[in-house]
Amino acid sequence: MRQVVAPRRNRSAKMEARTALLFLLPWIIGFCVFLLYPLLASIYYSFCDYSVLRKPVWIGPANYSELWHDEVFWITLWNTLVYAAMALPLGLVVALSLALLLNTKVRGMAFYRAIFFVPSLLPSVSLAVLWLWVFNGEHGILNEALQHLGFKGPNWLGDPAWSKPALVLMGAWGAGQAMVIYLAGLQDVPQPLYEAAEIDGAGWWAKTWHVTLPMLSPVILFNLIMGIIGTLQVFTVPYVMFPGGSPARSTYFYTMYLFDNAFIYHKMGFACAMGWIMFVIILVLTRISLKISERHVHYGGS
């Protein structure tokens, strides 16, 4: 009897494995065609002279060597790092502050949450056109408001000293996605911790610092890593608002230069090398963030 049941079980397991494989096959094919192959091909092309219009020619590390001596490459990298250093902390603080404000029990809170989240849903190109009007140096809404307050607004779009801060303000305005993630994390903070803190005489700031932020630390780390990836890959808004990285290449970011090399100058191998350098930079910064966070991030049960 056991000898009869065992082959049946084997056949049943094989049929289940085939069925599972058939269901997984579309995903496996899509992964190999649209992700794995382009990934491996880009590594190979980064060592080639490749213009898409003709076959790639192996040139070894020449693309990376050329990047090392390329002045525009260093300008775009510096612009990107400076922008990230300004936009990332501000975005984290704004999103967390909004989440704390919108976590209170006030009538109509769902409406307020939707209002702050909507900007993150709008198309980037439409936002860029809108903010071109807002940041207009002569007749923009922002400068008009500053003038009514007694301040003279700067030339946001034409002054290299103010072009990056303008983009940073735009990024903070669209912090709705991170805000929603913080809100979800705030819902998981155990209420008994707040009650215990109140018994000990803790005020609002003490509860926020000693209870809310430690319990939110995994969420903060997640948003930090996503912010690193997002700010270092900023592209659409500056590409629309500041053609060619104007003024004086102050807004010519890394991804814009990569795009120009790939699709305007047809230096696809050069662009692939830039892509892998950016991958390494993001990987290193992410690893540093994870290493630093080991002492400061508190997970549930730890």
Tens digits of per-residue pLDDT, 87-103? 999 999 999 999 999 88
Q: What is the pTM of this model?
A: 0.89
**Is-contact 132 156, C-beta < 8 A?**
no
Contact 223, 178 (CB under 8 A): yes
- Residues 5-30 have pLDDT tens digits of 556 677 788 888 889 899 999 999 99
Report pLDDT digits (tens) over 14-73. 888 889 899 999 999 999 999 999 999 999 999 999 998 889 999 999 999 999 999 999
**DSSP structure class, residue 264:** T
- pLDDT of 157-172, one tens digit each? 899 999 999 999 998 8
Whether a cis peptide bond, with omega within 30° of 0, leads into 247 is: yes
Tokens of 298: 């508190």
210: left (phi over 0), alpha (psi -120 to 50) or beta: alpha
Evaluate if residue 272 carries a pLDDT over 90.
Answer: yes
- Which residues partner with 48 through β-bridges? 58
Query: Interior CA angle at 96 toward 90 and 98, to 5°?
Result: 100
Instruction: List residues bridging with 58 in a β-sheet.
Output: 48
User: DSSP string spanning 125-157?
Assistant: HHHHHHHHHHT-TTT-HHHHHHHHTT-PPP-TT
As given in the structure block, the two tokens for residue 283 are 């990987």
Q: Look at residue 111 and tell me whether its pLDDT is greater than 90.
A: no
| Residue in the block written with tokens 């990934």 | 39
* Crossing angle between the packed helical segments 176-187 and 71-101, to the nearest 10 degrees: 40
Residues 71-293, CATH architecture:
Orthogonal Bundle (1.10)
Pairing of strands 48-49, 57-58: antiparallel
Strands (E), 29-104: 48-49, 57-58
The arithmetic mean of pLDDT across residues 126-152, rounded, is 88
Written as six digits, the tokens of 8 are 């049946």
Q: What pLDDT shows up at residue 6?
A: 59
Q: Regarding predicted confidence, which is higher, 194 or 40?
A: 40
C-alpha distances out from residue 230 to 189, 197, 237, 255, Å: 27, 36, 12, 11
What percent of the residues of the chain are helix, what percent strand, and what percent coil, each to the nearest 5? Answer: 75, 0, 25
Q: How many percent of the chain have pLDDT more than 70?
A: 96
DSSP 166-227: HHHHHHHHTTHHHHHHHHHHHHTS-HHHHHHHHHTT--HHHHIIIIIHHHHHHHHHHHHHHH
